[in-house]
Structure 1
Amino acid sequence: MLEALAGTGLAAAAGLNAYIPLLALGLLSRFSDLVALPSGWTWLENPWVLGIMGALFVVEVIADKVPALDTVNDVIQTAVRPAAGGIVFGSGTSAPTAAVSDPSSFFESGSWIPVAIGVVIALVVHLAKAGTRAAANTALAGIAAPGLSVAEDVVSVLLVVFAILLPGLVVVVLAGLIAALVIVIRTARRVAARRREKAALAAL
């Protein structure tokens, strides 16, 4: 159960920012005892891989905070984030962590199954994020993009931290994320409706 929650938290984090969970697993496995990646996933802690992911992370952080460019970035990330979700779910559910000491019995058969689950989770989160961002940008002329992006990065980091240290809290963070997305969408719709009303009155 803890393995599933840890993998879900990592995959959901990848749906918000592909490189935060990838970097976290690689760096923690390389420089700490909090994560011990199994042999099939040790490439994540390779210095060259970490360097490339670090550079891509910087690009992602900047692009995601610029109105209009964030929409283009979301289109590109439609392939990247689900792939990252598959990687972190697959590696995370098979790696001993601070909270999970013996993950060997989880998904014993079919190594592709956890990867597929991670892809689906990350894709769902990514589509929800992209849809919410598009609605907010349309209603608020893009001014909310930087704030929303920072909030998404913070949630992604929290999901990774809880997935590794306190998997049970992943459910709480995901519930909060869903509630926040609903609030943002409803607020954007109200703002857009008010703008249409003002435009209609001005045209009279």
Structure 2
Amino acid sequence: MGIVEILGVAGSVSLLAGWRLYLCIFATGLAMRLDALPVPEHLTSLAILENPWVMGIAALGAVAEFFADKVMWLDTIWDTVHTLLRPIGGALLALAIVDPSDPAMQVIAFMLGGGASLAAHGGKAGARAVVNTSPEPVSNIAVSTAEDVATVGLLYAAYEYPYWAAAIAAVLLALTIWLLITARRIIRRIFSFGKPQEIPPPR
């Protein structure tokens, strides 16, 4: 793979880790262990993900996140706790994907991976905070399930079709920016609702 494809895969995985860090780690490790994901030479450092201990901890985290993310307001607490963990995890995943013999590329991947995961985490947390304003739990469960399915599907697509990984990363980034802007507008509207309007002085 060329540099564009490698950065595309790293970007896609980092962005998805901002949504579902444990699921990304477990799904990647499981696919490698079942030989469903042949690991090219430049991705050999990802082999640590198929370690039974790593997979076990990631599986426990993924299960806990699966349920916590579907309970109103508990998902916001979970997101808050993971504000630091997801960007670090995304940065490390990106670091594992690039060629270890190229220090400059590793630094770039680490910074971009951490930034991408932080942005995706912010978009997810903001969107879920808006969803939590709904009094019924169906919206929360539906959005969370959609995130689960999208994470697995896009993660598979990024690894299986690396030439499309850059496009996947670009779409995920655009979605993240849209979520951040939309959540900001809605939250601002919610907090401004009910405030007394200033009456202009008579002329």
Q: Normalising by structure 1, report the TM-score.
A: 0.75
1:150 paired with 2:148, answer no
CA contact (8 A) 1:7 1:88 kept: yes
Any residues of structure 2 matched to 1:35-184 within 5 Å, and which?
35-36=38-39, 38=43, 40-94=45-99, 108-110=102-104, 111-138=106-133, 140-141=134-135, 143=137, 144-166=139-161, 167-171=165-169, 173-174=171-172, 177-178=175-176, 181=179
Unmatched segments (≥5 aa) in structure 2: 197-203
* Cα RMSD for the two superposed structures: 3.1
- Partner of residue 7 from structure 1, selected from 6, 10, 19: 10
Partner of 1:100: none
1 CA distance for matches of 2:174 and 2:146? 12
Matched-pair contact (CA < 8 Å) for 2:91–2:113: yes
1:155/1:88 CA distance change after superposition, 3 Å:
same
Structure 1 residue 34 displacement after superposition? 2.3
Q: Which runs of 5+ in 1 are unaligned?
A: 95-103
How many pairs are equivalent? 186
Indicate how the Cα distance of structure 1 residues 148 and 190 shifts in structure 2: closer, same or farther if over 3 A, else same.
Answer: farther
* Rounded Cα–Cα distance in structure 1 between residues aligned with 2:184 and 2:159: 33
Distance change (3 Å), C-alpha of 1:66 and 1:15: same
Question: Residues of 2 paired with 1:192 and 1:76: CA distance?
Answer: 24
Contact between 2:14 and 2:93, CA under 8 Å: does it hold in 1?
yes
Residue 30 in structure 1 maps to residue 50 in structure 2: no
Give the AA of the match of 1:159: L
* Partner deviation per Cα, 1:53-75 (whole Å, 9 max, x = no partner): 10111001100110010111001
Other-structure match for 1:97:
none
Percent identity, please.
30
- Whether contact under 8 Å (1:136, 1:184) holds in the other structure is no
Q: Report the CA distance shift for 1:176/1:16 in structure 2 as closer, same or farther (over 3 A).
A: same
Displacement, 1:45? 1.2
TM-score (norm. length: structure 2)? 0.76
SS at 2:159's partner residue?
Answer: helix
